Every structure is written in C-alpha cells, then in structure tokens.
Chain A
Amino acid sequence: MAENGIGVSVRRKEDNRFLIGKGRYTDDINVAGQTYAAFVRSPHAHATINGIDKSAAEASVGVIAVFTGDDLAADGIGPLICGVTVPSDDGEPHRAPAHPALAQGKVNYVGDHVAVVIAETQAQAREGAEKVGVDYTALPAVTDTGSAADDGQPQIHDVAPNNMCYNWPFGDKDAVEAAFASAHKVSTLDLVNNRMVTNPMEPRAALAEYNAGTEEITLHLTTQNPHVHRLVMSAFNQLAPEHKLRIVSPDVGGGFGAKIFVYAEELVVGWSCRKVNRPVKWTGDRTEAFLADAHGRDHVATAEMALDENGKFLAMRVMTKANLGAYLSTFATMVPSYLYAFLFAGQYTTPLIYSEVKTVFTNTAPVDASRGAGRPEATYLLERLVDVAAADMGLEPAEIRRRNFIPKDAFPYQTPVVQCYDSGDYETALDKALALADYDGFAARAEEAKSRGLRRGIGLSSYVEACGIAPSAAVGQLGAGVGLWESAQVRFNPTGNVQVFTGTHSHGQGHETTFAQLVTEQLGVPIENIEVIHGDTAKTQFGMGTYGSRSLAVGGVAIAKACEKLIAKGKKIAAHALEAAEGDIEFADGNFTIAGTDKAMNIAEVAFNAYVPHSYPEGLEPGFDENAFFDPMNFSFPAGTHICEVEVDPETGVVEIVKYSAVDDFGKLINPMIVEGQVHGGIVHGIGQALLEVCRYDSEGQLITATYMDYAMPRADNVPSFDVDYAPTDPPHNPLGVKGCGEAGAIGAPPAVINAITNALGVKHIDMPATPENVWRAAQGAA
C-alpha cells in the first residue's frame, strides 16, 4: 500500500484553503464593470399576468435594464428542459408543459420568475425589482399531492389535463393480484414521504461575462455538473454555441442534488450579460433558495405486501402519487419512476412487484432529485411496510428480514424490477449491525427507560440503493437523453508532478483527496505532487458531473484507466531510455525497472524524458498525458442495515435518538475517514427528514416554511454519536471494487428512525416528520 494510497484516512487536501478562508465560491468572484441582477418573483401561486409596467423600475437609480419573458422569447432563449422521458399508461410520453425562464403571461408558483432587473449595485437591483409593477389576476391554486389530479381541481397547464404528468404502471399486475388473492396475509400501509427543501449551505449564484471580442460567454455557476449545464444551455436553451460557452463551477458549498439542475436564474444571467454588455452577477438569498431551488420527495403512497404463512414475501403492490411541482425540472420525471420503483425489491426475494406512479403538477416549486432521489422514498416505504408485516405476522423485525433476504450466493441477483444487483451479503451486515447496536440488550434498556418514564424503541432499516449513476446503455433504454459515463485526464508535467482532470465535481465530497489517493496508489507519485482539477469546462474534458453517488464508482475508475494508459506508455519510454525491450519493463511503486536488474527509472524521470524526446524513434509519441472514459456495465448497489434506538417522552412527544448504528457495504474504501463523514452526513440528513423537516404550502399555495424559524434543519443536538462499521463485498463489474457512499445514510436512516418510534409507542405508523406534536398525538392515541 502506498503511504497515502487506497485505504488510508488521508486528511483532506482541500481543507487547508477552506480552513484559512481561501475557498473561492462564485459570490467571492468579482470582475471589473460587474452589474447585479435581482429577480422579480411571483407572490401568487397561480395567476395570469395582465401586464408588466417596467417604467418605474427603469427610472430607478442605478438600474441598467429590466427584462421580461418577452425579451427572452424575442432572442429565442429557452425554455428550460426536462431530460428524461417517462411513458404514460395512455401510450404517450409524459406531459411536458413549456417552462419559460421568465414567465410568459402566467405564473405557476410563488417564487416563479417574472422579470429581472440589472443594476449597478445589488441594492439598486433589488430596489428596482420592487418597483416593477406586475398586474396579476390571481387564480385558484392546487397544492395537495394526493388530490391534485382529482376532478374539479384548478388546472395549471393546458397540455396536462387533470394536472397529470404521467401515470406509469410497472410490473405484472395480474400475477401480483393472483398472489395477493391466495396470500396467507396481506399487510397494508398508507404513508406520506414529506417534502423537503434541500438546503445546501451556499445559496445558488451566477456570474456571467461576455467578451465581445471572442464572442464567448463565461458563466461561473454553483453547479454540480458544469458540462451538463454547458450542453443543455447550448443545445437546448440557445444561450451560445458550446465552444463559445465556458462554465466554471468553483468551490461550491454543498449541492445534495439541488445544484444539478439548469435553473432559470442561471440562464437569464448568462443571457443578460450579452444584452447589457457588462458582467452580471446574481447571488440568491436564503428565501430565494427556499422558494426556487428544486425541492425533494413529496409522495403519498399505499403499499401492500402479500405474505405466506412463514412470513415470506410473495408479492408487493405500491400505488404512489408524486408531486412534480409547477414545471418539470431537469431530471424530475426520472426520480419518482426509475429511481424509485426499481428499488422496491430492496434486499428481499419478493418475486412479484407491481406499482403505479401518478405524477402531478401543482402550484409549488419544481420537485427533483435531492440526496438519494427516489431511493429514500422507496426504502422508506419498503422498510416501513416490512415492519408492519412483521407485526402482522408476529415476527421479530430482524427475523422477517432474515427470512426474506437475497442469499449471498445468489449474486448477481436479478430482481423483478429491472435492477440486477452486483454483489451483497445482507445477512452479514444485519448480524454486524445487531451486534454493534447490542440488539439483544435492548429489552433491558427499554425496561430501565420505563423507570424514567420514557418509552424506548428500536428500529431496523435494511436498505439497498442503486447509485454510481451510469451506465449509459441502461439509462438510455430508460429514456435518458444523455449517456452517463465519466472521463478523466491524468497529465504529468515535465517536472514530474501530476494534474488530474475529472469530469466529476466536488462540492464537499473530498474528491481532491480521494482521487489523489487513487493516483498515488497506482503511479507511486507522492500525494502532495498530485493536483485534482475539476469544475471548469475550459480546463477539463467533457464529463457528467457529480450526483447519484457516482464520482468514485464511475469517475474514479476513469482516473484509474488513464493511469493504466500512462503506465503502458511509461514502459515504452523507459524501454527506450534504458535500452531494453518493452516486454522486460516492470512497473511498481513508481519505478519502471528492467526485470531482474536494478536498472530503473522513476516515473518522474520518465515524465521528463517524455517531454524532452530528443532521440525518440518513429512511433513513440512524446508527452505523458492520457485520457480515459469509463462507462460501467451496471449501477453500483450499496446496501446495509441501520439500527436506530430512541427514547420517547410520552408527556412531551420529544424523541431523543440515543444510539445509532450503521453497517454498510460500500465495497472497497479509498479514504475511510471521508467515507465515515459521508455516512454521518447522510444519516443526519435522514434524521432531519424523519424528525424535523417538512416543506409546507398552504391551500393558497403560499410557502409558509421559508425560513429556518419555520423549517427545522437537524443540528448537532438532534443526533447522537454514530457507531459506523462496514460489511464490504466486491462488486464484480467495478474495476476498483468500489460502490457509492454519499447518499446511503439519507436512504437508510428515515425508516430506521420511524421504525424505532413506532416500536417505542406500539403504534402501526407515524408520518414524518415525527415532531413532538405528531409523536405526542400518536402517544396519546396509543395510550
């Protein structure tokens, strides 16, 4: 093992600049002549625009220009697109209403973009925005996920009758019905998956510059995927030709999915810099993040499990209504369909699964991927249903899971819902988690808690998720408009240090360290001589960005493949320089050696040689710089068991998480410290959803949880110290043997927490978030 190679908890290289205040975020960047944009947003959830009076704003001090949807349309910019097609049960593709970046005669949610004001200062832009007179006629709004498609509801889009986007059935309905008809027992659960605001710490921002000399737009953005932005803005939004559009995503303060998408503000700022021929900056404030970042989750579902007399799962049926908001965000259609219903097998051998997903438009912000994206919704539903089934069968929750696990010798395992799991050993993870949680000692702890007037509960969640979002062949068949491979370029400089260009993007994940560890392991270059570069379309080759826990499992492998190419070329160079046959050159620990001799060249010497090729023979190219692309054959399927233990005060409804144990299979760990940090963060995210967070619109479509006083984020005192361990397996299709770890906690935690609370209270179900009020009410009902 290299000193700082695979498996070492190397301290994060990038943290130095963050700790000394030298991080460089989009809003930190200022350019000469910069102007500021402020958006006029709809205060109405649903309204027609009768007219927009720009005159007072245009006359306002410092205002340079006021633009509306008409100006965008006149220049042929937009509309925003959704990149994944999902078929509806009527044989038509999903309904895709026009999504103008600035409203065209109608607004469809509070925060919808009506106009933009460009001014000399941010304050002047905001003041100007307040002076734009918009004459609205308010329309009735529809906000409720469960009833949005009912007859008689207000209609949002002409192209989407009954506010339906698609109704997507999947599975063998008749076979599932037959299995239910002959089942020993049927367990049923109605549940809500609470709507979340993703809330990265850094709000979105954009800084656009137009160079009239080169006709190039440079757009600094808070994006998780700069090349995807460039592609969409160029090919679909007509912002600029791809070679005249540079997207730079510098340090980004968290994304969690919310910064994947191409947003109206980004497109409008990119366009307006050319209109005013000055740089334009927009920095969203926290309220704008609540209003206009894509939200997550928001399902209403009924789940049923058919069981035989031994508690084996015979069939599962799920009916889901999912809220997509007012318009389709970039990947909105795929989240409650392919990323959701294809996970319903979970860790179990359930042979038959049928589901229907009805997606609806409402007068709320667009809903799209948020940490986990579909998999948390699937896992919550399944793992809650399994606990209900265990209670119905009189089985212990761990036991019913064990009876239904896919056995470890059955991998690769083809589920009835498309996915073919790569590798897994679910029982080992369960056993390790039970030991870590001292599951056997729970009864005594519960008894002791009772003496303090508290009800103690324990809950399991045995999840599996599909991440490493690729493979192109699979996502293409599913309707994705892009392939999802990843790229890397590993370049030696003549003096022997290394620049690694990745098409992924780090916004907190620690890629600059993890990827450098891959390179030092493989090439033997000291880690301090390796720089990882990402986030600038002018520097890095095309890539697909970071989301779906894909960066290591896909992007990391591309880096490894580029390193392999360097080693192969290095052998040629060393053979030439050492006057040996190429076949006699061996590479290990950074040295090219003639086998069986002590004649060797360090890889840095090879690099120098490659750039000073005075005597190279024909056929040996100078340079030491290789590109690689990797398109995996399958997703990556992390899995594990999380166990949550809570104490509930029945008098106040306050839930305290007293113990949380997680055992995950992420394959091989490159940097265990970073992985553990990702696990912690994911679990906290999941605990936030389970206990605290919910995004609420009132019946008029007003967002009433738009501040941190009204929307509760998890804080340090809401979570315990976590006990984390691993039960790795080796995924055969991944050359590095790695899986993804960034979302697992957010996927595994919510059902573990709720299962613990229902266990403590002795109730069948409690919806998230389990706030003190909700828990107190449930406790009163159960008493």
Chain B
Amino acid sequence: MEMNFEHRIAASREQVWTALNDTDILKAAITGCSSMEATGENSFKAQITAKVGPVKAKFTFDIALSDIDPPNGYTITAEGQGGAAGFAKGGATVSLREDGAETILAYSAKANVGGKLAQLGARLIDGAAQKMANEFFVKFSELAADPSSIAVDQSVPEKESGIPAWAWLVGLLALTVLSLLSFG
C-alpha cells in the first residue's frame, strides 16, 4: 500500500530548515512524541504514543536513513513496536523544495501495520493518521513561522549546541512515522 502526500508550509525554506533543526519544536509539534535520539550514524529511536480508535500504545520506532541527499531528500525505513498493540513497518522517500516564499514538503510512503493495530484499527487508522498529520502541520507551521511561541518544557534538558546534520531529518521522519500509521 502506498501513500503520497505534499504539504505546503507558509514559511521560507530557511525558516523550515531552522525549525526542523529545533528538537523542541519537533517534539511540540508531534502529538505524543516523548523522545528522539540517535542510536548510530543515520539511525534513531523515537518514542511516540499513538491512539487509533480503541488502541493506545507507546511505539518505539527504530529508524534508519539511507540515500541521504541533503537538503533534497532521503529514504527512510522504520519499524515500530507497540508491544501488545502490534507493530508498524515500512519505508518512505521524503523531499523538501522551495516554492516562492513557501516550502513544499513531499513524501511517498509504503507501510504495513500488524497485530492489534491492524485488527482493531484498520478502518480507523487512515483518519487517525490524517488527524495526527494535520495537527503536526498546523502546529509546525505556526512554530516554524514564530519559534518564540513555543512553550518549552523546562524539565527537558537543553539541546546541545551544534545540532548534528541528522536532526532536521528527524522531523521529516517523524512525519513519515505518522504516515506509516495510515496503512493496514
């Protein structure tokens, strides 16, 4: 199963780039995202609590990037384990491009879900993922345009200075993770 999606962000590519480098913004924009960390070169672990119909579970996603072509795009493969809720796995290609003063983020994803997520959520999952993606884009667009509007959780340690090159990709892959949830 495939999903192709484009979203126009009302901010310059520079602003989007900056915002995507800001893990506070990303965490604030992704509903249910509690952590993202590197586990190696071009591999990460992300924890996202997702609710699809009657299934609510914390998914731990193992994510690997390949074909990295900054700042044009990359290929992502991800596998998320949600314990008793099941799993999600798949891959996507992601790209950013400028369109005048705005930026268009595009991704093309393929994915499967399994276990309880497929059993109970199959018919709800498209809507749930769409809702999560919409929430992300609304929040992310706001935050990209005005980073000062973020309510920073002070308990979270300050991000290290000198953001590594993979950090902006994490934001994109978080979107992809959302899209992974849209297939059953």
Chain A residues in the interface with B (C-beta under 8 A)? 43-45, 110, 129-131, 287, 290-291, 698, 700, 702-707, 709-710
Closest to B57 in A: A130
**Complex Cα–Cα for A130 and B112 (A):** 21
- Across the interface, do A704 and B112 meet the contact criterion of CB distance under 8 Å? no
Q: B115 — which chain A residues lie within 8 A by C-beta? A: 43-44, 110, 702
Give the number of residues in B that approach A within 8 Å (Cβ atoms).
15
Q: Does B8 contact A (CB under 8 A)?
A: no
Chain B residues in the interface with A (C-beta under 8 A)? 83-84, 86-87, 112-116, 118-120, 122-123, 184
Contact of A710 among B86, B116, B122 (CB under 8 A): B122
**Complex Cα–Cα for A130 and B116 (A):** 12
Interface centre among A44, A702, A704, A709 (most CB of B within 10 A): A702
**Complex Cα–Cα for A110 and B118 (A):** 10
Interface Cβ pair total, 8 Å cutoff: 49
Interface centre among A129, A131, A704, A705 (most CB of B within 10 A): A704
- Across the interface, do A703 and B118 meet the contact criterion of CB distance under 8 Å? yes
Q: B113 — which chain A residues lie within 8 A by C-beta? A: 702
Q: A129 — which chain B residues lie within 8 A by C-beta? A: 84
| Given known A43-B115, A707-B119, A709-B123, contact A702–B184 (CB-CB < 8 A) | yes
- Across the interface, do B119 and A702 meet the contact criterion of CB distance under 8 Å? yes
Interface centre among B87, B112, B115, B184 (most CB of A within 10 A): B115
| Given known A702-B184, A704-B184, contact A291–B119 (CB-CB < 8 A) | yes
- Across the interface, do B123 and A43 meet the contact criterion of CB distance under 8 Å? no
Q: A45 — which chain B residues lie within 8 A by C-beta? A: 114
Closest 5 CB pairs of A and B: A43-B115, A706-B119, A702-B118, A130-B84, A704-B122
**Complex Cα–Cα for A290 and B122 (A):** 14
| Given known A44-B114, A110-B114, A698-B184, contact A703–B119 (CB-CB < 8 A) | yes
**Complex Cα–Cα for A705 and B118 (A):** 9
Contact of B112 among A287, A700, A703, A710 (CB under 8 A): A700
Not counting A43-B114, A706-B118, A707-B120, a sample of 15 additional A-B residue pairs whose C-beta atoms are within 8 angstroms of each other reads A43-B87, A110-B114, A129-B84, A130-B84, A131-B83, A287-B119, A287-B120, A291-B119, A698-B184, A700-B114, A704-B122, A704-B184, A706-B120, A710-B122, A710-B123
Q: B123 — which chain A residues lie within 8 A by C-beta? A: 709-710
Expressed in whole angstroms, the minimum distance between the Cβ of A291 and any Cβ of chain B is 7
Expressed in whole angstroms, the minimum distance between the Cβ of B128 and any Cβ of chain A is 14
Expressed in whole angstroms, the minimum distance between the Cβ of B2 and any Cβ of chain A is 13
Pairs A–B under 8 Å by Cβ, sample size 5? A43-B116, A287-B116, A702-B113, A702-B115, A707-B120
**Complex Cα–Cα for A707 and B119 (A):** 7
**Complex Cα–Cα for A700 and B86 (A):** 13
**Complex Cα–Cα for A149 and B122 (A):** 28
**Complex Cα–Cα for A194 and B86 (A):** 27
**Complex Cα–Cα for A44 and B118 (A):** 11
Expressed in whole angstroms, the minimum distance between the Cβ of A520 and any Cβ of chain B is 49
- Across the interface, do B118 and A698 meet the contact criterion of CB distance under 8 Å? yes
Q: A131 — which chain B residues lie within 8 A by C-beta? A: 83
Closest to B87 in A: A43
